[in-house]
Amino acid sequence: MAVEIRVLGRVDAVVDGRSLPLRRRKQRAVLAMLALRANRTVATDELIDGLWGDRPPTSAAKNVQSYVSQLRKALASDDSGARIVTRGRGYELKLPEDAVDAARFEHLVERARSEAERGIVDGSAQGALELWAGAPLADVASEPFAGAEIRRLEELHLRAIELEIDAELAAGRPAEMLGRLEAMIAEHPLHERFHAQRMLALYRAGRQSEAVEGYRAAHRTLSEQIGVEPGPELRRLQEQILAHDPALDARPAPELPRQLEGGSPLLAGRDRELRWLRKRWAEAEEGRTRVALVSGSPGIGKTRLAAELAAAVQPETTVLYAAGSGAPDAALDAMRGAEDSELPTLLVFDDADDASPVVLEAAAALAAKPRESPVLVLVLHRDDEGPPAFADAAQRLLLRPLRVEAAAEVAELYAPAEGVAMPLETLMAESEGVPLRVHRAASGWAQAQAAQRLEATAVRTATERGGLRVAETEVAGSVEELQVARERTELYVVAEPPDLDEVRLALGRIIKDGNRAGDVIGRIRALIKKVPPGEELLDINEAILEALALTQSEVMQGHVALSTGLVDGLPPVRGDRVQLQQVVLNLVINAIEAIGETGEGPRKVVVGTSEDGSNHVVVAVADSGRGLNPAMQARLFEAFQTTKPDGMGMGLSICRSIVEAHGGRIWSEANAPRGAVFKFALPAQRERAP
C-alpha cells in the first residue's frame, strides 16, 4: 500500500489517500523528526531535545518511547510498508525513498538547480512547488526542533520559486510573471533575486524604462532598510539593460508537436500518474530508464498525460510524436529525429498497438541504442501487455477511470452558471469515469440545459405575450451559452476527426435554431407594436397576410415562390392574434428552409385556409421540399424533433403549444407530388368578426 509522510503544511501520515489518526502534537512531532531523516537513525536524546529543548521532563525518555510505540501501531495497522525500527538508543523510520514530501521537494529543487546550470528546464521546479501545501510543520511549529527545519525548507521554497520563474522567463512568458514577481517583492523586499527577475521580465516585455526604474527601486529599498548597495548581479543586469545586451533576449521556445497541444486545460485526478511519469523522465536523464509504457482504454487520457509531461520538459528537450495508427513514414521520420537529436529527447509513441512491424522495430532500436544524451520512449497502448517489441520493459503504468471528484472538476469546465453542473450520479453513469466521455457528457449536458432554457423562453413568450423585450435578452443569453459550449468542446474535447466533426455539426444546429428563435421573437415584437395583447375574434386570413409580410427576405434569399389559397367567408376564430401569427411564421420559415435543402425542381410554398366539417378553421402550409420521414412523423411536434438534418425542432413544439392553448390541434401530411404539409385547426366562432 502507498504511504506518504507530509510535513509541507500540517504533519500527516497518508496511506492510500487516507490520513492515519495522529491526534497528539508530540506524537506528530516525533513522526516529523523521524521522517525528515528517514532511513537514518535518530538518537533518543535528539528526539528529546527536539520535543522539549533544554527543559525536558523526568519522564522524557519514556514519553518518547510511548510516542514511538503509538506510531508503530498506527503504521502497522494499515500495512503501509513503513515501519519504525530500534537502533541502539535511537529509532529509524524505514520508508520508500520518495515517501516523504520534503525529501521529494528537496530532490526536485536540487535537480532544477543543477539542470538550470546546464541551461536545461525540465519542470522540476514546478513539480517541487506542487508539493508545497503551506507553511511547513504548521501544526508543530512551536516545538523546539521545528524552527531550524522551517527556515531551511522556506529557503528552499524561495529557491524553487526563483527557478520556476526562470523557467517561465526562458519559455518566453515575461509579461505573465510580472504580477507574481511584484507580489513576491512585496512579501520579500530585500530578496535581490526577485528584483533582478522583475527587471529582466520588464525588459523582455519591451518595457525598458520600467526595467531601469526597477533597479532604482531596488537600490532605494536596500539602502533605506538595511543600508547596503545592490549586489553584483543587480548592477551587472542594470548595465546590460542600458546597453541592450543581446544576451538578455530569450531564445524562442520550441513548439510542441500539434498532437500534444490543446485539449482540456485541466488534468484532473492524475497527480499520482504525472509524478510517476516525471520520475521516469528523471531516471531517463540519469541513464536508468529508456522506455516506459502507459496503457488504458480509448479516451482514458494517455495522450493528454503525455502532453503534460512534454510541456513540463520543454524548452531544453526535443519532444517528438509518432503515431502507430498513422503513416509509417511519418512515424519513422520522428524516430530518426529522436536519434539525431543531441538534446535530451522525449518520443511519445502513440497508438503503438496499431503500428507496423517496421515502426515497432525502429522504436525498440531507438530505446536500446546507446547515446550520450538522455532519451525516453513513452509507449502509449490500449491492451494490457503492450507491443511484443517492448515485452521486457519494466516501467508500466495503467490508467484507470477517474474518481467522482476528478470527474466533477472536469464537469465544472462546462457548467453554464456558477454552481450549476451536471449531476454527478448521471455524469458517472454516462461516462464511467473515462475522461473523454466525461468531457462529452458534461458538454452535452450543458448544451441541452441551454437549449431547454431557450425553448422554455420561446414557449413562455408564445403563451404569455408580455415581456418580449426580456425574452429577447434571455434568448440571446441562451444562444451565447450554446456558443460558449461549442467553443469549449472544440478546445477541450480531443477526439478522432469524425467524432469531433459530428459534435461541431450538432452544436451548429443548436446555435442556428437558437438564433432563429431570437429572430422570430424580434419579429413578433414588431407585430406587438401594432396590436395590443389579448384574445379577440379575428379574421384568420387577415392575420396570415400580416405575418407573411414579414417573410419576404427569406422568400427572396431562398428563391421560393410564395402563394396563398385563402378561402373567403370563413368564420372567425377566437384567440391571440400575435401568437397565431407566430405559428404561421414558424411554419412558413420551416417550409422555406426545407426547400433550401432540395436540388432541382419547383420551389414553392403555399399557405391556404379552409373550413372542415367539424366546425374548425384549418390553416395549411405546403412546401415542395424533400418530404417527411414517416418514422418520425408521429413525434415531430415533441421538443427537439425536427424535419431538417440541421435543426433542433424547437419551432414545431412551440407551434403545438400555441395551437393547443387555443383549443386546436396541429399535424403534418405528405404533399403531392413531393414535400410536406403542416396543418393546424382552430375552433370556428359563429359570431361575426369585428
Does residue 690 register a pLDDT over 60? no
pLDDT of residue 441: 86
For the chain, residues classed under CATH 3.30.565.10 are: 533-683
pLDDT of residue 654: 80
* Strand partners for 320: 347
- 560, 605 contact by CB (below 8 A): yes
Q: How far apart are CA 293 and CA 183, in angstroms?
A: 41
Amino acid 210 reads E
Of the listed ranges 58-67, 246-255, 403-412, the least confidently predicted one is 246-255
- 44, 90 contact by CB (below 8 A): yes
E strand or H helix that includes residue 260: none
- Summarised one tens digit per residue, pLDDT across range 38-51 is 999 999 999 999 99
Does residue 681 register a pLDDT over 50? yes
pLDDT of residue 312: 84
Q: Average model confidence (pLDDT) for the chain? A: 82
Does residue 526 register a pLDDT over 90? no
pLDDT of residue 77: 60
pLDDT more than 70, % of the chain: 81
pLDDT of residue 528: 44
Does residue 639 register a pLDDT over 70? no
- Summarised one tens digit per residue, pLDDT across range 320-332 is 999 998 888 989 9
The arithmetic mean of pLDDT across residues 539-554, rounded, is 84
pLDDT of residue 227: 92
Does residue 37 register a pLDDT over 70? yes
Q: Which residue has the higher pLDDT, 465 or 208?
A: 208
The arithmetic mean of pLDDT across residues 341-357, rounded, is 91
- 39, 95 contact by CB (below 8 A): yes
State the DSSP code for 68.
H
E strand or H helix that includes residue 213: helix 208-226
177 grid coordinates: 510573471
Binning pLDDT at 50, 70 and 90, where does residue 529 land? very low
pLDDT of residue 509: 44
Q: Which residue has the higher pLDDT, 398 or 287?
A: 398
pLDDT of residue 97: 77
- 449, 477 contact by CB (below 8 A): no
Q: Which CATH class is domain 258-398?
A: alpha beta
Q: How far apart are CA 668 and CA 636, in angstroms?
A: 8
Amino acid 114 reads S
Of the listed ranges 342-351, 372-381, 643-652, the least confidently predicted one is 643-652
- 210, 182 contact by CB (below 8 A): no
Angstrom CA distances, 301 to 196, 197, 296, 399, 510, stand at 40, 36, 8, 8, 28
Of the candidates 325, 282, 285, which has an alpha carbon nearest to the alpha carbon of residue 303?
Answer: 325
Q: How far apart are CA 359 and CA 122, in angstroms?
A: 28
DSSP reduced 3-state for 120? coil
573 grid coordinates: 376564430
Does residue 243 register a pLDDT over 50? yes
- Summarised one tens digit per residue, pLDDT across range 455-467 is 566 555 545 544 5
The arithmetic mean of pLDDT across residues 130-145, rounded, is 93
Taking domain 533-683, whether its CATH number is 3.40.50.1100 is answered by no
Q: How many residues in the chain?
A: 690
State the DSSP code for 418.
T
634 grid coordinates: 408521429
pLDDT of residue 199: 95
Amino acid 106 reads E
- 664, 680 contact by CB (below 8 A): yes
Angle (CA) 279-282-285 rounded to 5° is 155
Query: Which residue stretches of 227-370 are H helix?
Result: 232-242, 271-285, 302-313, 328-340, 357-368
Q: Which residue has the higher pLDDT, 80 or 628?
A: 628
Amino acid 686 reads R
411 grid coordinates: 464537469
The arithmetic mean of pLDDT across residues 350-356, rounded, is 92
Of the candidates 138, 149, 143, which has an alpha carbon nearest to the alpha carbon of residue 55?
Answer: 143
State the DSSP code for 254.
P
- Summarised one tens digit per residue, pLDDT across range 586-625 is 899 888 888 875 656 778 999 999 998 889 999 999 998 8
Most confident stretch, 133-137, 496-500, 503-507:
133-137
Does residue 468 register a pLDDT over 90? no
Of the listed ranges 56-70, 404-418, 524-538, the least confidently predicted one is 524-538
- 145, 33 contact by CB (below 8 A): yes
Query: Which residue stretches of 419-539 are H helix?
Result: 424-431, 435-464, 468-492, 497-530
The arithmetic mean of pLDDT across residues 428-441, rounded, is 89
Q: How far apart are CA 394 and CA 406, in angstroms?
A: 28
pLDDT of residue 415: 74
Does residue 118 register a pLDDT over 70? no
Q: Which residue has the higher pLDDT, 165 or 535?
A: 165
E strand or H helix that includes residue 378: strand 375-381
Binning pLDDT at 50, 70 and 90, where does residue 508 land? very low
The arithmetic mean of pLDDT across residues 348-355, rounded, is 93
pLDDT of residue 159: 94
Q: How far apart are CA 433 and CA 492, in angstroms?
A: 16
The arithmetic mean of pLDDT across residues 517-524, rounded, is 49
The arithmetic mean of pLDDT across residues 191-207, rounded, is 93
pLDDT of residue 530: 46
- Summarised one tens digit per residue, pLDDT across range 623-635 is 988 888 777 766 7
Of the candidates 615, 609, 537, which has an alpha carbon nearest to the alpha carbon of residue 567?
Answer: 609
Does residue 212 register a pLDDT over 70? yes
- 373, 341 contact by CB (below 8 A): yes
Does residue 410 register a pLDDT over 80? yes
The arithmetic mean of pLDDT across residues 111-135, rounded, is 80
For the chain, residues classed under CATH 3.40.50.300 are: 258-398
- Summarised one tens digit per residue, pLDDT across range 298-323 is 999 999 999 999 988 876 788 999 99
